[in-house]
Amino acid sequence: QVQLVESGGGLVQAGGSLRLSCAASGLSFSIYTMGWFRQVPGKEREFVASIDWSGGTTNYADSVKGRFTISRDNAKNTVYLHMNSLKPEDTAVYYCGAPSTPVAGPGDVARNSYLEHWGQGTLVTVSS
């Protein structure tokens, strides 16, 4: 059974930074692309960032490019989202997602393709 557990959310002032973590179990983490998504109440979940199995290829939503960095530690089965220069519009519940197949690449995850496994989410609130 695949489990994804996010942590690291909280309240931060605009311009501040946070690092989210997602610990994975129940899958061969080191061969899977992983992704981060976010959702605001009343809106659809949106793509934030994805990273391939090696960490060598990443994708970002235009809204976070240059501010957020996705990384992974395959020895710890963990994917991270480093968030800098946070804005109030970044306020959302952030979810870690994994596809159903290791064939899915960062582009597939960015297009919401093959996504099957989700964490419970961690709330990020950015105050102005």
Q: What is the pLDDT, as a whole number, of residue 70?
A: 98
**Which amino acid does the sequence have at 26?**
G
With beta carbons less than 8 A apart as the criterion, state whether 94 and 124 touch.
Answer: yes
Scored b (16 or more CB within 10 A) or e, 51-67 reads bbbeeeebbbbeebeee
User: pLDDT averaged over the chain?
Assistant: 97
Interval 6-38: pLDDT, tens: 999 999 999 999 999 999 999 999 999 999 999
Q: What is the pLDDT, as a whole number, of residue 51?
A: 98
Q: What is the pLDDT, as a whole number, of residue 36?
A: 98
3-state DSSP helix/strand/coil percent for the chain, to nearest 5?
10, 50, 45
Q: What is the pLDDT, as a whole number, of residue 80?
A: 98
Positions of the chain with pLDDT lower than 70, given as ranges: none
Q: What is the pLDDT, as a whole number, of residue 113?
A: 85
